[in-house]
Amino acid sequence: MAREEPTEYGFDALRTRRCECGAADCTAIIEMSWAEQDEVDHGAPELWILAPGHEPQGAQSWRVVRESERFVVFEVEEAS
């Protein structure tokens, strides 16, 4: 009997998550695969995933560590 994985649980299936830029009026939704999320979530906590064109709010400095057409990963140094 074949066991079918629901596509929404597939490792390469796109999942949606909120943009983490921190802007009060940001409602952007990002699509990422599990593999992509896994890579970032297991990285440093200062990695923020933002929608393209958004900038980290309240950050002292940042640099882009990864960019795709769906999202941008920033390494953020938060203002103390």
Separation between Cα atoms, residue 16 and residue 30, nearest integer Å: 5
Q: Where in 41-70 is the site for Zn ion (CB under 5 A)? A: 54
**What is the C-alpha to C-alpha distance for residues 62 and 20, in angstroms, rounded to an integer?**
14
| Region of 4-12, 16-24, 32-40, 70-78 interacting with Zn ion (CB under 5 A) | 16-24
- Name 42's bridge partners: none
Stretch that binds Zn ion, among 1-9, 12-20, 55-63, 68-76 (CB under 5 A): 12-20
Nearest distance from C-beta of residue 27 to Zn ion, angstroms: 8
Question: 14 or 26: whose CB is closer to Zn ion?
Answer: 26
Taking the alpha carbons at both ends of the chain, their separation in whole angstroms is 57
Q: Yes or no: say if 29 and 14 are a contact pair by the CB < 8 Å rule.
A: no
Q: Is 30 in the site for Zn ion (CB under 5 A)?
A: no
The residue ranges that bind Zn ion (CB under 5 A) are 19, 21, 26, 28, 54
